[in-house]
Chains A and B, each alone.
Chain A
Amino acid sequence: MSRLIYLVPLLPLAGFLLNGLGRKRLSKTAVSVIGVGTVLAAFGISLSIFFETLSPGFAPQTVRIADFIDTGRVKIPFSLLVDRLSVLFLLVITGVGSLIHLYSTAYMHEESEPDFARYFAYLNLFVFSMLVLVLGSGFVTMFIGWEGVGLCSYLLIGFWFRNPAYNDAAKKAFVMNRIGDLGFLMAVFWMLSRFGTAEFAGVFEKAPEATAAVLTGITLLLFVGATGKSAQIPLFTWLPDAMAGPTPVSALIHAATMVTAGIYMIARSHVLFDLAPVTQTVVAVTGLATALLAASIALRQNDIKKVLAYSTVSQLGYMFLGLGVGAYTGAVFHVMTHAFFKALLFLGAGSVIHAMHHEQDIRRMGGLAKRMPVTHATFLLACLAIAGLPPFSGFFSKDEILMAALAKHPAYYAFGMLGALMTAFYMFRLYALTFRGAFRGTAEQSAHLHESPWAMTLPLAVLAVLSVAGGWLGIPEVILPGAHRLGDYLAPVLSGEDGEGMAVAHLDHATEWILMGTSTAIILSVVAFAWSRFSRQVPSDAPAGGGLSGLLERKWLVDELYDAIVSRPLRALSRFLSGVVERYIIDGLVNGVGRSVQYGARQLRLLQSGQVGSYLLIMVFCMVLFFIVQMFWKP
């Protein structure tokens, strides 16, 4: 089946083309069939490839499709790398992707036909790009998908392009991604000039020969790329704004798949990162800081999607923490589980928003549990998963990361734990405000409140199952030795000869049990506190006051800070260049030459006084001058 690998990205591409070109002619049903069908088909093929990879004799293979750039010393093929890591991501992308496509058929049904088709075209294009990203056998191919998903994200965030704020959000996302992309590109150039290739195989083979400085540089640049795409400090501010897009988009792109591209990339190139401990520290610290910062902001947000967005940023921070401490499997594991529960959360939020007629403020909700049973149930499961309570999936993945962090440095664990507590708090604050208590919306909203159609609830249900059970693929050794299926599966890719879990191996089992137990207990208490408190007490509408809580509500003023130190100075500089330097200095010089000629003309013409006498006088003086030069001046 892996010979058919090229079909996996091509099917969504075909869907994109069909829907995109036929957007004026196709009916919504046709669009839905094409949109969902192609991704589903891709999922099917992925699945079959997945089973292939399970067989013991499976070896990673590179499927070369064509030359992309082959000129001079640069050789970049279009080729796809099929190994366990990419196939795992294939499954997540196409699997979660098809669910979200299905969900969208209902969620977006109100759109006009061309817009509906446009939406699915974008979505298919996104899936295509994402697949290229994970399948690419080299950094350049990956970069193609990398930029492609950025583009789709841009297009989808600004899907409702009549709203200027959405467009700004879309633009912000694209530009921030571009900043990261520049780092990525520079890393690619560095590799090309240092190793002569940007294919994974070639780079990883030659990497050990390179000096630590080179590797640190390359990996840091790659990490810059990752911070852009995966919304880490300092480039995270676009992600909350990206919630302007339709909710399924947020679920697919800004939670489940695209934003994890950075994690995928680092996991993919872990060979390089392993050789660059400085970078690893940077990654871990950045991840941790992001996790805490985003979690703290999420504490005080009132927009249902904003909370989830900051939560995503925070979870991504965890994944980077995992990568930084060398727990690549843990990070990938968390990517997977996070894909499940975060997609579920977003879709659930979408369902709520759909029912509430595009109301997103949780202060205007409440008491939806009874009105929307399926949504409520699945949402609750997801909350439990993200809070990290056993036996839900989030527990296992988060635990794996935290254990590895502890092994690296206790501080990592301590702060990581703090973040986990905050996560539990804001998630259940969200849950309680939305589903518990009394309904606080308008009467009209109340009248129309209903459970979503099957196309929306089915994905919810499937994802709920996965959110619960997804974690069982990676049960830590303490609990059940040899049950870390995921670790075993990924071991050939993510760990060299050392074997997986080198970080975990340092902890003795007793410590682990104790830590697990305490953390679960604390989280449980936080959950209970948040649940009980926010089922009754609703935050006021009043704008944020001063102090810490105000600062949190205003998101630590990061946007304002960027505006002050980057945007505004740049804009001022540009105005200065355009208004002063360009006009008066550069153009002024050019025009000055012309003007000085004209000035010279005005002055020189005065010699032409019109009087013969003066003409002759000048002539004679010049004659005398000539004589002096000629007869007496000996150069």
Chain B
Amino acid sequence: MFTAFDNFPALLIWLPLLGALPAFLLRKEGAAGRWALASSLVTFTVTVASLFFQGEKHYALTQVSYVWLPDFGSSFTLTLDGISWILCLLNAVSFPVILGSTLGTCRDRQHVFFGLMLMAQAGLNGVFLSADALGFYFFWELALIPVYFLASLWGGERRVQAAFKFFIYTFAGSVLMLAGILWMHMRTTDQSFSLASFYRTSLDPVEQAWLFWAFFLAFAIKMPVFPFHTWQPDAYEQSDTAVTMVLSGVMVKMGVFALIRWLLPLFPDALKRFDEIAILLCIAGMLYASCIAMVQDDLKRMVAYSSIAHVGLMAAAVFTVQQEAWHGVLVQMFNHGVNIIGLWVVVSLIESQLGVRKISQLGGLAQKAPSLAVLLTVIALANIALPLTNAFVGEFLMFNGLYRHNPWYAAAAGLSIILSAVYMLNMIRNVFLGGTNDLTDGFREVSFRHRAILALLVVVILAAGVHPEPMFRLVEDTSDLILKRVQSR
């Protein structure tokens, strides 16, 4: 029976989507932005509220299904379980922050910008909530389109090419996934696209092998995992920072999420054959990206490479199929989103004031903007997983899982802990500390709004770092359920 809770999943998609339409029409200066912020806050409220309507369900696999394409064996099925909830929450938290931080930025065609942003949010929520493969694919693409436009319309000089590369690359991955989805669909006993039917379907090893790689490629490009990552630095660098926040804060989580929700439970036998390759790719990517991050002079590229390293760890941890590693991954998805958005906010504040992102041209900002420096430091420390910040919890569990899988992997991956400290502190040293120069002399403390947003993020970082338990309670049951499925085959 439908209860009040059952409508929440659909609501989480419709709210931002319906919010997007008026935003396109609000041409008045600033109006669209305020509307979008309000809309995203409503979504946030509803997302949080949905937690309290869970009742007896305990975030276990609850599905709500609407008729859509019965002839295709597809329905509009949504599931709000632990893992989708935490990602929807990330989405709900991120967008007010992103929109709030970008509100006053000078930008032409604001109404389009904010409309597309909300559309992207709807698409992302759809990806996280879909329990139907076709719906999942739909949202997978639909999240991409608005972001493609956002990334092409606003940003650096080479944005069109960069965004296009991003689009084509991810599209290429996702068509392979589509082939895999269709194949799975054929193999289901009831010719259905539903997640449940997919889970029930058994495949022979050869099928599993190629399907595994088809799906993996799609997700690997999205995350991105080495060596499929080259779209990312370009896209991050060239996009408007608000868009980069969406990309790095929420969108890359699509890939990790999909590994857990789709790839591993569907092809457990293939996983047994290929997990080492996948993990090694991820770890190689972590070290590789960390090394490159060390020598980047562009703030955005540096953060981009650091993101590759972090996401690589998450992906590696997923492939270990260790219980607590998965919990760590799920929690870390949220935490990484918060942290990296925080970093981008700071980057965008610097760029908007000085028009420069080159680390070598900056310096001494801490003198001019002490509050900003403090907030950034906390966020940066969270990014390198200092204990009592949010990322520590996740990384600890992930490394733990990796260690249980193979100690040497953990040791190799652990080197990135050191490297991450190197590039993060380098960045702080060269941008915030030291003396000012001609350029940075004119830097002013950032506005109260931005400080408040960053402070909010810092509070989240610390709260989640000191008391991560509620998040574990949220994801545990679902995660263990899926894990059991992966292991039992």
Chain A interface residues toward B at CB < 8 A: 66-74, 114, 140, 143-144, 146-148, 151, 154, 158, 161-164, 167-168, 170-171, 174-175, 178-179, 181-182, 185-186, 189-190, 192-193, 570-571, 573-575, 577-578, 581-582, 586-587, 589-590, 594
Contacts and interface: CB of A to CB of B under 8 A. Distances in A.
Nearest to A182: B414
Contacts of A147: 386-387
B324 A185 contact: no
Contact of B434 (A69, A162, A174, A178): A162
A158 B400 contact: no
4 closest Cβ contacts across the A-B interface?
Answer: A72-B324, A189-B403, A72-B323, A144-B387
B393 interface: yes
B472 A69 contact: yes
Contacts of A168: 429
9 contacts: A72-B322, A72-B480, A73-B324, A114-B370, A162-B367, A167-B434, A174-B421, A186-B414, A190-B407
A161 B425 CA distance: 13
Nearest to B168: A594
B469 interface: yes
Nearest to A75: B324
Contacts of A161: 366, 432-434
A189 B469 CA distance: 20
Interface string B152-176: 0000000000000100110000000
Contacts, number: 138
Contacts of A71: 324, 327, 397, 472, 476
Nearest to B228: A590
B450 interface: no
B230 A186 contact: no
A400 B469 CA distance: 46
Given A164-B434, A175-B422, A189-B399, A578 B295 contact: yes
B151 interface: no
Contacts of A158: 429, 433
A581 B370 CA distance: 39
Contacts of B468: 68-69
Contact of B417 (A73, A154, A182, A193): A182
B292 interface: yes
A146 B387 CA distance: 9
B137 interface: no
A175 B425 contact: yes
Nearest to B328: A71
A611 B396 CA distance: 69
Contacts of A69: 393, 396-397, 468-469, 472
B323 A73 contact: yes
Nearest to B386: A147
A167 B324 contact: no
Contacts of A114: 370
A73 B393 CA distance: 14
Interface centre among B231, B404, B418, B466 (most CB of A within 10 A): B418
A582 B418 contact: no
A132 to B, nearest CB: 9
Given A69-B397, A71-B397, 16 more contacts: A69-B396, A69-B469, A72-B324, A72-B476, A114-B370, A143-B387, A148-B388, A162-B364, A164-B429, A167-B433, A174-B421, A175-B418, A175-B421, A182-B414, A582-B292, A587-B230
Contacts of B429: 158, 164, 167-168, 170-171
A147 B388 CA distance: 10
B295 A74 contact: no
Interface string B388-432: 100001001101100110010011001101100110011001001
B169 A590 contact: yes
B381 interface: yes
Contacts of A148: 386-388
A573 B287 CA distance: 11
B138 interface: no
B472 A574 contact: no
Given A190-B407, A577-B291, A185 B414 contact: yes
Contacts of A179: 418
Contact of B296 (A170, A190, A578): A578
B163 to A, nearest CB: 14
A181 B417 contact: yes
Given A67-B469, A74-B400, A189-B399, A178 B418 contact: yes
